[in-house]
Structure 1
Amino acid sequence: MSLALPISPDHLLAAPLPQLLAETGTEVIDAGIPDSGFFGAVVERKNGDILLAMPSGRSELEHDTMARYLLAQVFDVPLPKLSEPFVTTEA
């Protein structure tokens, strides 16, 4: 999934997360998935808005990092790939 919204890597990494979510029409929801290997998922709504389904109970740093990385994937922002064990897949 890649959407057309120009976001620079600098902006993606530096903007406060609430601002970035608002600018991209993204809502964060609790995924309800307790698996320690699950770090989040992206769902595109029919109206074009984005949902980030994130696991609860994670540190603020992990939550922030993974939300930004998932947004980079959605909006095709060129960031380095995360190292193992992190894997992104598209369905």
Structure 2
Amino acid sequence: MSTDHLLDTPLPQLLAEHNVDVSTLETDPGFTGGAYVRGDGSLLFVRPAGRPEAEWEIVARAMLGQTLRVPMPELPEPYRLTEL
């Protein structure tokens, strides 16, 4: 996967290509998303309810890039990814 593909492909198509399940949940106000790699290697992304669509686009692409080890541009402030 290339950085260009990750940034230019419509998000629903990108998530489908990688079989990413998305669960929308009510979360704390500062939470902007989360990714979980299941034991079988499949991905689950948590999308906070009520957050802006543009924010989700940025965060979901960044999470997918980090999970797949694709070089990505830095996230704008105040966003950052933390791997646990």
User: Is TM more than 0.5 here?
Assistant: yes
Aligned to 1:3: none
Equivalent pairs counted in the alignment come to 84
How far does the alpha carbon of each residue in 1:34-80 deviate from its partner, in whole angstroms, 9 at most, with x for none?
x2221111101122110011101112111111111111111111112
List alignment gaps of at least 5 residues for structure 2: none
Contact 1:27 1:51 (C-alpha < 8 Å) held by counterparts: yes
Match of 2:44 among 41, 51, 56: 51
Query: How large is the Cα RMSD of the aligned pairs?
Result: 1.3
User: Structure 1 stretches (4+) deviating beyond 4 angstroms?
Assistant: none
Match of 2:81 among 76, 79, 88: 88
The yes-or-no answer on 1:75 pairing with 2:68 is yes
- SS of the aligned residue for 1:63 comes to helix
Aligned to 1:42: 35
If the length of structure 2 is used for normalisation, what is the TM-score? 0.88
C-alpha distance in 1 between matches for 2:24 and 2:81: 19
- Asked which structure has the greater RCO (Cα within 8 Å, sep 6+), the reply is 1
List alignment gaps of at least 5 residues for structure 1: 1-6
**Identity value in percent:** 45
C-alpha distance in 1 between matches for 2:76 and 2:55: 14
